């Protein structure tokens, strides 16, 4: 089916910022808001993962595969999922995954994390895990890129184009996507209480505002240092 990518040309301009990395740092509050948009079930204190259906009762373990900055997001995701859902999680560098004959198969959920959705090593890891019978869930920023297409389900971060080489908003939104997965699994298997889930959701909802406040504080401190 045809899917519309909502990015536009203005998102690929610096819009007055000195360089793209600075612009993308300042775009983080908006990007986090877009990743959360429509994905929090406030009455049930749960997360909605678009059309992805996850049943913790059928998951023996979770393996997160990624490269570079996405791998760092995966490491944090491991802590969140194990803490909130009490499901064992492994975090693997995708470039090493297929070369070590990984122990993976039916009952395992592999979460592939990639900003572009085209990372060659991560795509190879997805194909290896799928060939062994694992279920694949991808987290990506680019709609209908190769890794989501090779997966059984995809959770898009909606961060917008990231042009700066050093990752900023893509990394932040990957953490949000992993947090939503952890929240959902914890609520589904009963390991995360309603009160704890509500507190976690409240913190997620406050993140964009807190990021804006922190950004203003950093700018003020920077200006003060220059004056001094």
Give me the pLDDT at residue 124, please. 97
Give me the pLDDT at residue 20, please. 84
Question: Encoding tokens for residue 19?
Answer: 């360089």
H or E, element range at 181: helix 169-188
Mean pLDDT of 188-213: 95
Where residue 217 falls among pLDDT bands split at 50, 70, 90?
A: low
The model carries a pTM of: 0.88
Give me the pLDDT at residue 97, please. 94
Burial of 220 per CB tally in 10 Å (0-12, 13-18, 19+):
exposed
Cα–Cα distance for residue pair 49/154, rounded to 1 Å: 9
What would the pLDDT profile of 164-193 be if each residue is shown by its tens digit?
A: 888 999 999 999 999 999 999 999 999 999
Give me the pLDDT at residue 227, please. 57
More confident residue, 30 or 165: 30
What would the pLDDT profile of 31-63 be if each residue is shown by its tens digit?
A: 999 999 999 999 999 999 988 999 999 999 999
Q: pLDDT at residue 10 above 60? A: yes
Q: How many other β-carbons are positioned within 10 Å of the β-carbon of residue 132?
A: 15
Give me the pLDDT at residue 215, please. 66
The mean predicted confidence, pLDDT, of the chain is 90
């Amino acid at each position: 089916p045809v899917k519309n990518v909502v990015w536009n040309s203005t998102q690929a301009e610096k819009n007055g910022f000195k360089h793209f990395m600075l612009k993308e740092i300042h775009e983080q509050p908006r990007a986090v808001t877009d990743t959360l948009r429509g994905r929090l079930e406030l009455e049930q204190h749960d997360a909605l993962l678009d059309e992805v259906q996850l049943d913790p009762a059928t998951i023996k373990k979770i393996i997160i595969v990624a490269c570079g900055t996405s791998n760092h997001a995966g490491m944090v995701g491991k802590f969140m999922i194990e803490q909130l859902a009490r499901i064992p999680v492994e975090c693997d560098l995708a470039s090493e995954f297929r070369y070590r004959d990984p122990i993976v198969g039916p009952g395992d959920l592999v979460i592939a994390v990639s900003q572009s959705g085209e990372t060659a090593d991560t795509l190879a890891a997805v194909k290896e895990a799928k060939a062994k019978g694992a279920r694949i869930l991808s987290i990506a920023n680019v709609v209908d890129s190769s890794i989501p297409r090779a997966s059984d389900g995809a959770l898009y971060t909606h961060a917008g184009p990231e042009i700066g080489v050093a990752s900023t908003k893509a990394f932040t939104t990957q953490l949000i996507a992993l947090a939503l997965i952890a929240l959902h699994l914890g609520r589904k298997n009963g390991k995360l209480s309603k009160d704890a889930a509500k507190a976690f959701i409240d913190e997620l909802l406050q993140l964009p505002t807190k990021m804006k406040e922190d950004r203003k504080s950093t700018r003020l401190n920077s200006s003060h240092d220059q004056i001094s």
